[in-house]
Amino acid sequence: MGKLNYLTLARPDISFLVSVVSQFLNSPSDSHWNAVVRILKYIKRAPGKGLVFTDRGHTNIVGYSDADWAGDSSDRRSTSGYCIFIGRNLI
């Protein structure tokens, strides 16, 4: 799972999925393992996915974050998220 977490830095399209599956590392069920297998199959089918940047005249870096502390009613786990922009390009 560590390599999959590392890959989220280069593949933001899987970042959310990996963060959700990572919440169940202590006691994964078959459905969690099936989700990991689906993520890996997606990565294998889409090796050329990447980021496309458009030059819009500036390269300001802006970041936003949010957190939901114990917001999941089923297990009271906390979730957080963030997004980073370079200019008007979402990373």
Is 44 in the same domain as 3? yes
Report the candidate in 27, 18, 4, 23 with the shortest Cα–Cα distance to residue 77.
Answer: 23
Same domain, 58 and 26: no
Q: What pLDDT is recorded for position 50?
A: 62
Contact, 14 vs 1, CB < 8 A?
no
The residue range of the domain holding 79 is: 54-91
pLDDT tens digit sequence for 31-89: 988 988 998 888 888 776 666 667 777 778 899 998 887 777 777 777 788 888 888 77
Do 17 and 44 share a domain, yes or no?
yes
Say yes or no: 37 and 63 in one domain.
no
Identify the residue with better confidence: 6 or 74.
Answer: 74
The pLDDT value recorded for residue 30 is 92
